[in-house]
Structure 1
Amino acid sequence: MKVSVLSEELIIPSCATPSNLNTYRLSFIDQQLPPYYIPLILYYTYHESSTITQATMTIKLKTALSQTLAHFYPLAGRLVKNQNTIDCADQGVWFSVARVESSLLDIIKCPMIEELNQLVSVGIGSSYTEEQLAIQVNLFDCGGIAIGVCVSHRIADACSFSSFVSHWFAKAKGEISLNGPVLDSAALFPPMESHEYSRNPKDPTGQAPLQSLVTKRFEFSSLAINKLKREVIKDSSTVVNPTKVEVVTALIWKCGTEALDDCKGSVAFHAVNFRRKMEPPLEDHQFGNIFQMASAVTNQTADMAGLVAELRGSFGKIDSGYLKSLTGENGVEIAKANFKQIGKVMIQEGVGVFRFSSWCRFSVNEGDFGWGKPVWISSADFNDENCIILIDSRFDDGIEAWVVMDEEHMKKFEQNAELLAIMAS
């Protein structure tokens, strides 16, 4: 697959950001996040009956992006050197257009990570830059389009990312009445006066060298997930109505633990979006990193039912009482402890650490910008060992899991008999 960049430019907000909004403060939860990028690619096929050309859609996307950035103005800013604030002087978002000499459907039928990486902006990955957002529109020979979007995790979580993309695409369709983002997370979770993320993403302590990591996609159909659910219900007297995210997380956690060398046990950390758990609930378009990490512990002998029970119990701890304390007087220390727990576990000998994030049920999955809904949504390569992203399957009510592991561990993981049996269901 050959990808040639046709144009590159900065897109600035359609309206100048007021001077009183030129400094956007990160919340103390934002401050705990590493300055690496979350990649997302949305794929759209072209129908011969359509009268909209690739050139027209590219212009619509540029115009709508400029209009959207007037509301999501921190994304057009730059992270200042102390990493605690965003300078919102309308510096702009990097926007590139590329020609792809391939069929979009061929990419979807047999995706290769090395090729998907070419569909997101060059230079976006785990390395730190001051830019908050980068976009690459890929024009396929078949007439289809793939839109690669990368956002800094320092400023936004997956829900905020989804809210931005949904707003952008709605603007491209000509919708006028839209809910803009709520940009006051620093008021909810006041930041520390001075804080810099301590881990160098190019040399993450306790992790394998980045060059030994590989990213692979694993598909779980609705039939396979229902099989897992029946297995859990049969073996458990306490777990009722397990969710698809719970059972897929449990299976990957179990098989991943078995793939690690000399592993005595493992911990699964799972990001929990708590917008709707707050009292009163926050809106889905509350911008920023509005999540905490639930943690569950297991050993290599645990069965699926036991793992689901552990996960559900860990999710349940992030309740209204916990969140009340998070916004209280000692909220900073509680948030710091939540993230520091990952680092402490990572340096324990013989303990595996897996980090999960679910993008299921987010509005971005319905991202229609005037050319229909995406036929597929994918991630790309991201160097973060034992990190797993779960995305809704576009083909049924299944899940696609994007898994990053050490190369040798990945070989054992993908050959796990239990994993292969479920995926073959």
Structure 2
Amino acid sequence: MDMSVACYFINEWADIARNPGEKKCPEFKIASFYPPIDLPVMEIYKPEKVKCISRRLVFNASKIAKLRAIVANEVPNPTRVEVVTALVYKCAISAARASSGSLKSTVMHKAANLRARVIPPFPESSSGNLCGTFPVSTEEDSEIRLVWLARKIKKEKTEYCNSCGREMSAEEFCSFILEDSTGLRSCHGIDQDVCLCSSLRRFPVYKVDFGWGKPAWVTTASCGVKNVITLMDTREGDGIEVPVTLEEKDMAAFEHDVELLAFADINPSALPEIYKLNVLKHNPFSRI
């Protein structure tokens, strides 16, 4: 299942836990529009597993506003996700180039939730995998500028969304998704850096309540695969938290990047001050 289905399932499960008599039923409309068809057997994309390190970046609202203002000088109406993604991706590229000593080409495969983008659109509660990816590539030996990268991310996203924003038969839709998969698998074995990026923002992960309160902090677990970037909302909703997993030799340069440190805090405390105070209040051993 994709993140949209996972969030819906967990929230509905929590609602049932609080209200046992309430009946919930997910929607299974996707299969009626895009019936399953026989797909060709294709080699599974297997990211290279190496020794990785994960770090958590937190961008507060004021720093994101400054970042948007810089990019907006040349890119019309950049979104919060676009500018943060551009900065993190740029710094990851710089770190990889610094540690390897070469200017290899790179490609970032950015995941996109297609529910609201296809015709007809589907509600977020629709069960099934309805997501795709679009590539954002950089050329070998090219200089990477923040504004240029933000513009490219916006351009690739717009073109991708326009291409899926039309009525398609089941065969056409499967062909559309297969193009994404083929592009991702074709990167395997090529001498270029591949990055996987997804945004889990605006999913109601902080509204989940099984009856003992809402979560203090929600994040993703490291999967042990290098070059993975995930964007999430902070608990307050006005900032962006970015778990990043890179190869160990790349992370050393990444976490000391001056441009990155100007906008992001690295591995700050995840628990809000109110939770820390409650722990001190109710746990006498914490004062020892």
What is the TM-score of this pair, normalised by structure 1?
0.56
Residue 63 of structure 2 is matched in structure 1 by 224
Q: Does 1:387 align with 2:223?
A: no
Contact 2:226 2:245 in 1 (8 A): yes
- 157 and 412 in structure 1: CA distance in 2 versus 1, 3 angstrom threshold: same
Q: What secondary structure, in the 3-state scheme, does the structure 1 residue paired with 2:53 have? A: strand
Q: What secondary structure, in the 3-state scheme, does the structure 2 residue paired with 1:319 have? A: helix
Measure the CA separation in 2 of the matches of 1:174 and 1:382.
35
1:418 is aligned, of 259, 262, 265, to 259
The percent of aligned pairs where both chains have the same amino acid is 27
Deviation at 1:321, TM superposition (A): 4.6
Measure the CA separation in 2 of the matches of 1:182 and 1:229.
37
Q: What secondary structure, in the 3-state scheme, does the structure 2 residue paired with 1:385 have? A: coil
Measure the CA separation in 2 of the matches of 1:170 and 1:397.
25
Q: Does 1:345 align with 2:184?
A: no
Larger helix fraction of residues: 2
- AA matched with 2:94: E
Measure the CA separation in 2 of the matches of 1:405 and 1:384.
8
Write out per-residue CA displacement over residues 309-354 of structure 1, whole angstroms, 9 at most, x where no aligned residue.
11111111233552546545333332112111112234332x2221
Measure the CA separation in 2 of the matches of 1:413 and 1:398.
21
Write out per-residue CA displacement over residues 68-97 of structure 1, whole angstroms, 9 at most, x where no aligned residue.
xxxxxxxxxxxxxxxxxxxxxxxxxxxxxx
Deviation at 1:265, TM superposition (A): 2.8
Measure the CA separation in 1 of the matches of 2:119 and 2:39.
29
Q: What secondary structure, in the 3-state scheme, does the structure 1 residue paired with 2:254 have? A: helix
Measure the CA separation in 1 of the matches of 2:86 and 2:263.
13
Deviation at 1:231, TM superposition (A): 1.0
Residue 282 of structure 1 is matched in structure 2 by 122
Contact 1:216 1:404 in 2 (8 A): yes
Q: What secondary structure, in the 3-state scheme, does the structure 1 residue paired with 2:218 have? A: strand
| Structure 1 gap segments, 5+ residues each | 1-155
Residue 233 of structure 1 is matched in structure 2 by 72
Residue 271 of structure 2 is matched in structure 1 by none
Q: What secondary structure, in the 3-state scheme, does the structure 2 residue paired with 1:314 have? A: helix
Q: Does 1:405 align with 2:217?
A: no
| Structure 2 gap segments, 5+ residues each | 267-288
Contact 2:2 2:130 in 1 (8 A): yes
Structure showing greater relative contact order (alpha-carbon pairs closer than 8 Å, 6 or more residues apart): 2
Deviation at 1:177, TM superposition (A): 5.7
Q: What secondary structure, in the 3-state scheme, does the structure 2 residue paired with 1:214 have? A: strand
Larger strand fraction of residues: 1
Write out aligned runs for 1:79-94 (5 A).
Answer: none
1:311 is aligned, of 150, 153, 156, to 153
- AA matched with 2:210: F
Measure the CA separation in 1 of the matches of 2:94 and 2:118.
37
Deviation at 1:374, TM superposition (A): 1.6
Measure the CA separation in 1 of the matches of 2:223 and 2:115.
26
1:336 is aligned, of 178, 181, 193, to 178
Q: Does 1:254 align with 2:90?
A: yes
Residue 159 of structure 1 is matched in structure 2 by 4
